[in-house]
Chains A and B, each alone.
Chain A
Amino acid sequence: MKAIYKSDSLNLSLYKLPTSIIFNDDKIKTKLVEELADNDFEVINNTVLKLNISVREYLKVYDFNMSYVPYFKLENYMSKKISFLDYETLIYIKLIGFLSHKENIFIFDDILSFLSDERKERILKYINENNIMYVNITSDIEETLFSQYLIVLGEKGVLIEGEVKKVLMEEKLLKKLGFNLPFVLDLSLQLKAYEVIDQEYYDLDKLVNDLWN
């Protein structure tokens, strides 16, 4: 079988648009991550090292711009030892360190779901403001809405791919393949089928407002 990461769709998307990859087979996802790591892509996973250095020293290694400390709300952590931090904070700081090298293309290996909502929003805001290219391999369908391109991976490789909203509209196919849809889209498509509303939604507040007004 051809290396998954060398398939045309993955080559295109890795260099052009922030991309999400969802999967219905753990083995194929593991294979893809291994291939990417073996071919020098910057893969960020959820393993962390409990080092006996301060957060400040850790981030210095990554040439982190210290003016971003307030942006990431790290003031209370800078002098703390890495080894004393809780797991979620370790993941958060690991991500911040890696993302300091904005010119790289980052592969997130199912890591964003470990963060609190607040920290995830902050990381994504930083990524968008700095036009950082990434591929988010995720088991959380809601995360696909953060990116612009979506690749659906199955046992035999790439199943469907394209702009996020276009792929997610392949509702029947995705459900047949064992995927769920983002909640707001799923609910609005079913309401549309019952002629309660006349369009699909991706934004929860907008759906609530339009539905009940």
Chain B
Amino acid sequence: MELEGKVIAIIGDNLNSSFNLKKEVYILDNIKKHTDKNKILEALKMVNLSEDYLLKKSNDLSNGEYSKLCLAKDLINKEKVIYLDYFDKGLCYKEREYFKKLIKKLSRNYGLTFIVKTNDFSFCINLVDEYHILKNLKVVKIITRENIYKEKVYKYYNKHQLIDFVLKSREKNHLMDDYFETSDILKAIYRELR
């Protein structure tokens, strides 16, 4: 299975409800002990955190801050496979869009593999290359992004308004193509009603 340079979402096996509870208590210490300070600062900058975070205590970190530091640590350690465990939680919309672009760039340009686990399809849509369905911790099916509608990948996630709109429009024999962006839906509606 070729995983390099891909963003993969893992679903099934009730995974979306098994968030990793064990926060790494010493994550900041693990970052600070790195000898190359430039590398630390570069990684922190990439995840939108300032140098001030090195003075914080691990217990004082919010969800969003902790998630970003985990990503920074993996980048400093040059991990080839990075796990994003409910990474989107605690991030505002602006930051979520920023990180989606960053993750895509890191996977395409640097060959990093990202494994995404979340219940929010809006984080996956337009980001994930493949959806790996697990059963008893084994990959039983792989669905590419082109087949999201055909294979009904969205049923593994919480309701997504855009997908819901397309599906309900199809019940009325409209919007029969696959849509992932509001702008494309707008154009399609305009074409159909003209």
- A: residues with CB less than 8 A from B are 22-26, 29-30, 33, 46, 48, 50, 86-89, 110, 113-114, 116-117, 139-142, 178-180, 182-184, 186-187, 190-191, 194, 196, 204-205, 207-208, 211-212
- Whether, in the assembled complex, B189 has its beta carbon less than 8 Å from a beta carbon of chain A, the answer is yes
Q: A187-B186, A194-B190 are in contact. Are A23 and B89 (CB under 8 A)?
A: no
CA distance A73 to B187 in the complex (A): 43
- Chain B positions within 8 Å of A89 at CB level: 17
**Does B29 make an interface contact (CB < 8 A)?**
no
A46 to B194, CA, bound (A): 48
The tally of CB-CB contacts under 8 A between chains A and B is 101
Are A184 and B165 closer than 8 Å at their CB atoms? yes
Q: Tell me if B185 is interfacial: C-beta within 8 Å of chain A.
A: yes
Complex Cα distance, B87 from A146, in Å, reads 24
Q: Which among A179, A204, A205 is the interface contact of B94 at CB below 8 angstroms?
A: A179
Hey, which chain A residues are within 8 Å of B14, CB to CB? 86
A179 lies within 8 A of B165 (CB):
no
Residues in B whose Cβ lies below 8 Å from that of A207: 165
B38 close to chain A: CB less than 8 A: no
In the bound complex, CA of A113 to CA of B21 (Å): 16
Cβ contact within 8 Å between B17 and A86: yes
Interface of chain A, main secondary structure: helix
Of A178, A186, A196, which one neighbours B92 at CB under 8 angstroms? A178
10 residue pairs from A and B, CB less than 8 Å apart = A29-B62, A87-B17, A88-B16, A113-B120, A114-B86, A114-B119, A117-B159, A187-B165, A190-B186, A204-B164
Partner of B93, one of A88, A180, A212: A180
User: Which residues of chain A have C-beta atoms less than 8 A from B168's C-beta?
Assistant: 204-205, 208
Considering only residues 73-107 of chain B, those with a C-beta below 8 Å from chain A are 86, 89-96
A180 CB → nearest B CB, Å? 5
Chain B hits for A208, CB < 8 A: 165, 168-169, 172
CB contacts (< 8 Å) of B193 on chain A: these are: 196
| Contact of A211 with B92 at beta-carbon distance under 8 Å, contacts A48-B21, A183-B165, A204-B161 already known | no
The residue on B at minimum CB distance from A184 is B161
Cβ distance A117 to chain B, nearest Cβ, rounded Å: 5
CB-CB nearest in chain B for A33:
B62
Most chain B Cβ neighbours within 10 Å, of A48, A87, A141: A87
A29 to B172, CA, bound (A): 42
CA distance A131 to B186 in the complex (A): 39
Closest to B160 in A: A183
Which A residues are in CB contact (< 8 Å) with B120?
Answer: 113, 140
B37 at the interface (CB under 8 A from A): no
Given A26-B95, A190-B182: A50 in contact with B159 (beta carbons within 8 A): no
Chain A residue at minimum C-beta to C-beta distance from B19: A87
Please tell me if the beta carbons of A86 and B159 are within 8 angstroms of each other in the complex: no
Contacting residues, chain A, for B182 (C-beta < 8 A): 183, 186-187, 190
Contact A141 B93 (CB under 8 A): yes
With both beta carbons as reference points, the residue of chain A lying nearest to B169 in the complex is identified as: A208
Q: Beyond A26-B90, A186-B182, is A211–B95 a contact (Cβ under 8 Å)? A: no
User: Would you call A204 and B165 a contact (CB within 8 A)?
Assistant: yes
B42 at the binding interface (Cβ < 8 Å):
no
Return chain B residues, CB-CB under 8 Å to A182.
161
Q: Are A30 and B62 in contact (CB under 8 A)?
A: yes
Give the nearest-CB partner of B166 in chain A. Answer: A208
Nearest CB on A from B71, distance (A) = 14
Which residues in B have their C-beta under 8 angstroms from that of A211?
169, 189
Chain B 144-180 residues near chain A, CB threshold 8 A: 158-159, 161-162, 164-165, 168-169, 172, 174
